[in-house]
Every structure is written in structure tokens, then in C-alpha cells.
Amino acid sequence: MTETDTRGRWLSADELRDARERLPILYIDAVPVRVDDRGVLQAIGLLLRASTDGSINHELVSGRVLYHERVRDALLRHLEKDLGPLAMPRIPLAPQPFTVAEYFPTPGVTPFHDPRQHAVSLAFIVPVEGDCAPQQDALDLAWLTPEEAARLAEVGEMEGGHGVLVRQALAHLGHPV
């Protein structure tokens, strides 16, 4: 019997390309929120990123779950990577997604599209209490009221279906969309 490799490691570019051509990849999407002392939604945080065509788009925190990485740890890693080490996200010990999104390389199969791959994403609403400073390739972080976020999601300015996730998150939290 051989041992299972339990070291979390990144795939090489070739290995990742080959994997993306053959099987769905597990991702997380996180909707960062600010809530008041009673837990009432005050704002939704959306990242501003430059796309490959040069346009600026609003996006959610998103990323792959690594081999041998717990979903909770992936959430923490991606939130810190995008929002900074002082964001102070409140993730429960056993996080539960509010929905599951299937991203397909073929547009129109679902509202979610990723031209690189078929990906299955667990989507979470995550209260954030600390100071956020966009990191990595994020240009800025915009905190929008629920109404502003709903309008932005409605007009289709968010790529890949992230607007649909924002609307689903708002509905999950009891806000009209």
C-alpha cells in the first residue's frame, strides 16, 4: 500500500491546465459584509479588479480550495489574501454555504461562467469586522449599501455571475432584490 500525499501543494501550470480540462475544480466565493451590533446587514464589500480586456469590474472574494485544505481554511486564506491581514473575518467553526454555484466554460449553461474551467463553488456570507486593505491584484474595495449592491448586481456589471451571487446573498439575508 502506498501513502497518500497529504501535503497541500500548488499544481504546476501544466498540471492545472490538464486538471481543468478533465474535472471540476472546487472553489469558494465569499461575500464580505458589515453588520451592526444586532447583526443587521449594513454593507457588502466588493473588490475592484482589472479584467484581461482592461475594464474595471466588481468581484467577490474567490479562489480555489487546495488539496488537503479545509474549506474554512480556504475561506480565511482568500479573505486575508484579498482584504488584508487585519480584515478580521468571523467564520464559524463549521461554515455552511448559502448556495452552490457551478461555473461552466460554456456560457449559458448556468448564470455562472468561467472560460478556463468547470468549477463548483461553495458561496459564503462572511461578516468582516476589521480594517480592510485590498491586496494582491485587487485595485480597491467598495463598501456598498444593500440597495446599491442590488442595483449593481442587477445591471450586469459583475463578471462570471458574481452579480447573481450578490442577489442570492441579499435574498438569503432577507433583503429585497
Instruction: Give DSSP secondary structure letters for the chain.
Output: -PPP-----PPPHHHHHHHHHHS-EEEEEEEEEEE-TT--EEEEEEEEEE-TTS-EEEE-EEEEPPTT--HHHHHHHHHHHHH-TT--B---SS---SEEEEEBSSTTSSS-B-TT--EEEEEEEEEB-S-----TTEEEEEEE-HHHHHHHHHTT-SGGGHHHHHHHHHHHTT---
Whether the predicted model's global pTM rises above the 0.85 cut: yes
Lowest mean pLDDT among 5-9, 113-117, 118-122, 124-128: 5-9
- List the domain boundaries for the chain: 30-172
Which has the higher per-residue pLDDT, 48 or 156? 48
Architecture of domain 30-172: Alpha-Beta Complex (3.90)
Q: What confidence score (pLDDT) does residue 2 get?
A: 44
**pLDDT, tens digit, 9 for 90 and up, residues 11-39:** 788 887 787 788 899 999 999 999 999 99
